[in-house]
Amino acid sequence: MGSTTLVLVIVIIAAVSFDFTNGFHDTANAMATSIATGALKPMVAVLISAALNFLGAFISISVATTIAKGIVPSSATAHLDGLFVVEAALIGAMIWNLITWYFTIPSSSSHALIGGLIGAAFASVGSSAVSVHGIVQKVVAPGILAIFVCGIVAFLATTAAYMLIRTLGQEEARRGYRYGQIGSASLVSLAHGTNDAQKTMGVVALALISTGHLSAVHFTVPIWVKLICATAMALGTATGGWRIINTMGNRITTVESPQGFSAESSSAATILASSYYGYPLSTTQVVSGGVMGAGLGKRGGVVHWPVVGQMVVAWVITLPSAALVGAAAWNISDLFGTNSDVGAIVIAVLAGVVAFGLYTLSKRNRVTAQDLDRTNVTPEIEAERAQAASPALA
Amino acid sequence: MFVLASPIVDWNAMWKICVVTLAAGIGVVVAFGFVLLGLKIADRARADGTHNAGSRLGGLTLSIVCGVICVAVVVIGVYAMAKKPSSKPAKAKSALVIPAGPRMKLVASSR
């Protein structure tokens, strides 16, 4: 196996691993509120989400095309250097995903990937490689807007839903909106698959173009690339990501089914509209804004601001932190010589060790599917829980 | 504030997103609420045994119409996913990582 092929294989493995972490990190975006309200059993929810993420990866290839051709010009990575930067970026993003997962904080996988890329490029070329204006325009501004747009819509939708509930009756509404949640959560899952699985497809396609295995002129994503990326995303989603689901579904606010439906519908509308109009917003931040808005939209609803504060801190530091890890990975690789196979292998192995270490640490305070199952929780128990939780966390 | 933010926020896309999100997000929740309400009215008319065909028909009609609206929004959503416009190639001024030097030519930007 030649040097370029070996590095290409390592990059593909890193991309698929990142896709896997993206899957379990972002399951919460679609399914947390459905699980929290007992609309779905946790395992059923993640399996539906996994299937729809898998399906979503095949719906279109526009995101993959954008990454493979639009973001990086076809000639840009026609060097082994480019592959090393992509590998370091993926490792930076993956490790930051795992760190935030360990600390049970929902954060944007896309921002982690961009951060990793910035860090690795910065380490490779220097400060001239990074455009601060681009970061503000493409990452910071959409991040802030996402929370407010979806939050306000979810707030208004929840208020409207509870106005209808006065006529409808609590029990009918609770039951009915649970069914609605299955549909709205499924739409978010599908949208996630079309966006996030394709980001990795784009990265793999980019690596293939740069090594001459794929034509940039007659660009198409090979079926095997689609399959491995969709499968990695689906497998990651199916493993649950219970820690982040717990935060998103239970710790931000106490969610009832009308709130869950409002949050998910608003999130789906925001994600799809922003994506369609070419101003993509972070799914994680959109959904978090939706859950907060839904929490505030119910009269007497409580949002646990300390938890929100932790999330905001994580969002702010995601980009620089992933950049630091990406830069560190590139520098470690570079210690073994420019474009050294050994360097590529060493950083991949180190990433594996860190991932295993975080997984082992997470076992100390595990969150399981059983802990989150609310399908047998009666309204009375739910009310008691909400009452018990509110004074302590408000 | 608006003027200051103009160079970094695509307000043209933003207002469209806000309008569509408001319409779809709130619309679906309200429409779904009316589906439930219509079903309840129809169910109550049936359970009362008063053979109030008007109430029952009205409830069912309300449910069906609002149900169709919800399904239509979902279909439009899936269509929007499938027909997502491709992005324009990156311009250096809006890039996150711009080309610099002969050694590393990687460029990254969003849309």
Selected residue with higher pLDDT from A14 and B45: A14
Contact A194 B40 (CB under 8 A): no
The pLDDT, as a whole number, for residue A146 is 79
Contact B81 A172 (CB under 8 A): no
In whole numbers, what is the pLDDT of chain B averaged over residues? 73
The pLDDT, as a whole number, for residue A142 is 78
| Angle A55-A60-A66 from CA coordinates, rounded to 5° | 130
What residue numbers bound the domain in which A244 lies? 3-389
Counting Cβ atoms within 10 Å, is residue A337 exposed (0-12), middle (13-18) or buried (19+)? exposed
Domain ranges of chain B: 2-85
Chain A CA closest to residue B8: A137
The pLDDT, as a whole number, for residue A86 is 87
Q: Which of A158-162, A169-173, A299-303, B82-86 has the highest mean pLDDT?
A: A158-162
pLDDT digits (tens, 9 = 90+) for A242-283: 888 888 888 888 888 889 899 999 998 988 888 787 777 788
From the CA of A12, how many Å to the nearest CA of chain B?
Answer: 17
The pLDDT, as a whole number, for residue A324 is 93
Contact B84 A275 (CB under 8 A): yes
Selected residue with higher pLDDT from A77 and A198: A198
Q: Which residues of A touch B34 (CB under 8 A)?
A: 164
Query: pTM of the predicted model, to two decimals?
Result: 0.81
pLDDT digits (tens, 9 = 90+) for A353-376: 999 998 888 888 777 777 777 776
Q: Is A241 left (phi over 0), alpha (psi -120 to 50) or beta?
A: left
pLDDT digits (tens, 9 = 90+) for A305-341: 888 888 888 888 888 999 999 999 999 988 888 778 8
User: Residues 74-113, chain A: which have Cβ within 8 Å of B?
Assistant: 75-79, 81-82, 85-86
The residues, any chain, with a CB within 8 Å of residue A67's CB and separated by 6 or more, are: A198, A199, A201, A202, A203, A205, A206
Residue A394: inside a domain, yes or no? no
Q: Which residues of A touch B9 (CB under 8 A)?
A: 137, 141, 145
Distance between CA atoms of A262 and B33, rounded to whole angstroms? 11
Structure tokens at A272: 């799809």
Selected residue with higher pLDDT from B9 and A159: A159
User: Which of the four pLDDT bands, split at 50, 70 and 90, describes residue B31?
Assistant: very high
Question: Is residue A18 scored above 80 in pLDDT?
Answer: yes
Chain B CA closest to residue A262: B29
Task: Of B72, B82, B61, B77, give the one whose Cα is nearest residue B21.
Answer: B77
Q: Which residues of B touch A137 (CB under 8 A)?
A: 7-9, 94
Domain count, chain A: 1
Report the residue of B30, B76, B88, B110 to disrupt the A interface, i.e. the one with the largest count of A CBs within 10 Å.
B110
Q: In whole angstroms, what separates CA A347 from the centre of its chain?
A: 23
The pLDDT, as a whole number, for residue A113 is 86
Contact B25 A265 (CB under 8 A): yes
Asked if residue A94 lies in contact with residue A55, where contact means CB atoms within 8 angstroms, the answer is no
Residue A75: inside a domain, yes or no? yes
Residue A194: inside a domain, yes or no? yes
User: Which residue among A79, A164, A265 places its CB closest to the CB of B37?
Assistant: A164
Chain B CA closest to residue A75: B105
Distance between CA atoms of A152 and A263, rounded to whole angstroms? 10
Selected residue with higher pLDDT from B49 and A359: A359
